[in-house]
Amino acid sequence: MPTPVGHALAGLAVAGIAGRSARLSTSQVAVLVFCAIAPDLDLALRLFDGVNHHRGPSHSIGMAALAGCLATLMRRLGFGLPGALAVAAAWGSHVLLDYVGLDTMPPFGEMALWPVSRDFFIAPMALFYDVPRSFSPEAIRHNIVAVALEIVIVGPLAWLCWKRFANSAHHSS
């Protein structure tokens, strides 16, 4: 499963695309990057009950849709959030990247289709490395390589999305 670096780059890509139709502030871009990383906050739930909740409902298109609905509600209350589609897409980017990531801890995959299904889904071939949660020298080296791979794969996508946004913004002014 990708690291926060890969997920943040995907959030930047979504912000670049969303910025073509609506001017995004720096804080709105930050919200989209946060939404792309947010599903992994389920790791913290273990601190409360000792149970592994990782890759559960937070890693689903259902939760992406809920995040978009929450963004709509908060926008109506006057919060300057990005639009619902951008928020849902940023959250959904996490689901997509984890789907094509290597998972070495059972249950393998993620509950990508929650609430419709509680089954775990994973691509037959991995594009991204797993992320050991250890500070051993081997794990650190492995994670550095994993981040480098994410930068090589997702970085150009984020750059292209921002370049297209910058070009379209420049031509419209």
Q: Which residue has the tokens 């930047």?
A: 12
d(CA 156, CA 147): 14
Confidence of residue 142 (pLDDT cuts 50, 70, 90): very high
Average pLDDT over residues 92-113: 96
d(CA 49, CA 30): 30
Question: Residue 19's pLDDT is what?
Answer: 87
Q: What pTM does this model have?
A: 0.92
Average pLDDT over residues 84-104: 97
Question: Residue 105's pLDDT is what?
Answer: 87
